[in-house]
Amino acid sequence: MVQATRRGVAALGLAGALAFGLAGPARAQRVVVVSFDGLGHEFLTSEPTASELKVFQRLRREGVTAAGVQPHFPSTTSNSHAALFTGAYGDVSNITSNSMPVLPRGEHRFTERGVGFRSDQLAAEPFWVTAARQGKRAVAHQATQAFPFREFNTRAGAVVVNGYQTRTLAGWQAVELMDGVAAEWGAGPWRFRAMVRGGAAVVEEVTGSGGRVKVKGAKVESAPPRGRGLARRFSEGLFLDHAEHPVGVHFRLFRKGGGWLLVQSPAQELGLHDGERRNDGEVRRMLREEGGSIGNGAAALLRKGVLNEAEYLETVELQIRQTVRHAGWLDRRFRPDLLQSYLPFPDEMDHVWLGREGPWRAWAYAAVDEGARGFARLAGRKDHLVFVSDHGMARVQRGVNVNEVLKRAGLTGRAVHLYNSVLVNTTDWKEGVVKAEERGTVVAEIRTALERVKDPETGARVVTAFFTPEEHGELYGIGGPAGADLYFDLMAGWRVVDGRDGDVVVRFEEPSGTHGFDPLRRDMLAICVGRGPRLPRGGQWGRLRSVQIAPLVMDLLGVGPPRDARGVSPLALQVQGPAR
């Protein structure tokens, strides 16, 4: 295990660059860093399905691999990404989970929740601001805590682009069509009309710009995207201009029995800050040239049975295709020294399919790999390419309702469940009831109540370990004004469920994937792989902490670490033997 306090600088030789079929050399010492949501170290290094990640495996051979990366606690997306981007855990950044307590405490009740993906509560400097502050051009593309645009996440020299925390004006749509019969439907402030003739449809926006796009009908793809383009049967983008929110949407016409199913991508507002101001002119230009911004695949339509697995995977491909296109456009337009981007995969599909191995999951990973190939092309032979993730994933099939446990223990009003942690209603919260001197007693009551929850089949304790800011704060970065009072881990196969009054233990019909557990569990460890002139070819680092990634990226860029970083770049640590 690598200790973050070590300062010895390793003797690092030059590494050979990956042959990714690049179009041409780029400027030296650029850094391209991409985060892949939910891609765990254990999966990448040991599961058979990881063979689909050919670009990642080649990157491991030709560059350096960390023996896992410790995410935030809980190991969830928004706070773990905040740690990656700022070099600080939630006790410093105030980003502690996807749904977190709202600060300041004295003005909010302990049950009020904010969105950890937003920047409202961000209190630490992200690395794109760090780079710009030190004279480097930076682009942050689809990063967490990048919107709303605030003093903490914007600076002259940094272009910040986000389409996740902006407004979703219309979600994924599915419209049934018959040959020769016109159909009309609404999506946010727009209305569309379409008719199928000769195996193709012309989709027209009828309430605003009057734009139109043609989409050819076809059966669903029958094989993964190897040797073919991603989402090749989706239409090009239909640009929808609007004074407040220009968007781009795409369409896919599936042959379904005797009719057709027309699928429309979301109408998602895209925000772009050019370093001086919000700039919708650049957004319009990018949407017109490259098509719409797609936040996620159509998982909701899959769960409802509107789309089957193969049809859903085409929507995943569209999201990946558009993200890579936009990253490429931003790279060409602004030529940054630091380019950051993000994919919401494999997290999205592993929440559905983990534990149910089959062709669909392998297909999904092949699509992720094609996205990785596109990102890799953005890094020239003299540049650094770094792939990271926020957390791993675990298979679960049972749940424990922690709030019901607290209720039965008489703790309602004094304690409430957060994600794999419990928050005490101390008097520093608005209308708080637990005095400072009583807090330890309440924490002990919570622990006792959780210890009593047993697996009905084996009699084993479901809650297996406890962690407190006082004892474990330095290791995990837990606590702080937005942190909880008691953190816990669960036995393998279990997760927390809420909103099931009366039930303490729940068994799900099918297994699924989730995360949020002790970040030092092997299945929660994230990834860090990279190559470039300053990274050892075929090398391996010990286990890192996610707060070391931002200092690493800045180190590769040749500037100092983020202002609030608590981690140390692994370039200052001893490199171990070849990766396994």
pTM: 0.92
Average pLDDT of the chain? Answer: 92
Task: State residue 574's pLDDT score.
Answer: 47
Those residues with Cβ within 8 angstroms of residue 381's Cβ, 6 or more apart along the chain or in another chain: 17, 22, 25, 26
Is the separation of the CB atoms in 486 and 443 below 8 Å? Answer: yes
- Confidence bin at 500 (pLDDT 50/70/90): low
Mean pLDDT value of segment 545-562: 97
Instruction: Count CA atoms closer than 13 A to 576's CA, side-chain side.
Output: 12
H/E stretch holding 545 reads strand 544-545
Confidence of residue 498 (pLDDT cuts 50, 70, 90): confident
pLDDT score of 575 more than 90 = no
Q: How many residues does the chain have?
A: 580
CATH architecture of 1-21+29-88+124-137+336-393+515-580: 3-Layer(aba) Sandwich (3.40)
Q: Name the E strands within 167-274.
A: 168-170, 173-177, 183-187, 190-197, 200-205, 212-218, 238-240, 247-249, 251-256, 259-264, 267-268, 271-273
Domain ranges of the chain: 1-21+29-88+124-137+336-393+515-580, 168-271, 395-514
More confident residue, 75 or 572: 75
- 507 or 499, greater pLDDT: 507
Kindly report, residue by residue over 166-215, the tens digit of the pLDDT: 999 999 999 999 999 999 999 989 999 999 999 999 999 998 777 999 99
CB within 8 A of 514, min separation 6: which ones? 351, 393, 394, 396, 495
pLDDT of 543: 97
pLDDT confidence band for 257 (50 / 70 / 90): confident
pLDDT at 245: 79
Q: Which token pair is 417? A: 């469940």
Confidence of residue 490 (pLDDT cuts 50, 70, 90): very high
Residue 68 falls in which region: left (phi positive, over 0), alpha (psi -120 to 50) or beta: left
Rounded average pLDDT over 247-264:
95
Secondary structure (DSSP) of 459-524? --BSEEEEE-HHHHHHHH---STT--SEEEEE-TTEEEE-S-TT-SEEEEEEEEEE--S-TTSGGG
Rg (CA), the chain: 24
Average pLDDT, stretch 553-557? 97
pLDDT of residue 161 exceeding 80: yes
Percentage of the chain modeled with pLDDT above 90: 87
**What's the pLDDT tens digit per position in 422-443?**
999 999 999 999 999 999 999 9
Domain 395-514 falls in which CATH fold? Gyrase A; domain 2 (3.30.1360)
Digit-coded pLDDT (tens) for 9-39: 222 222 233 333 333 333 447 999 999 999 9
Average confidence (pLDDT) over 304-330: 97
Q: What tens digit of pLDDT does each residue of 55-82 get? A: 999 999 999 999 999 999 999 999 999 9
Give residue 573's pLDDT band: very low, low, confident or very high (50, 70, 90): low
Catalogue the E-assigned strands of 344-418.
384-388, 394-401, 415-418
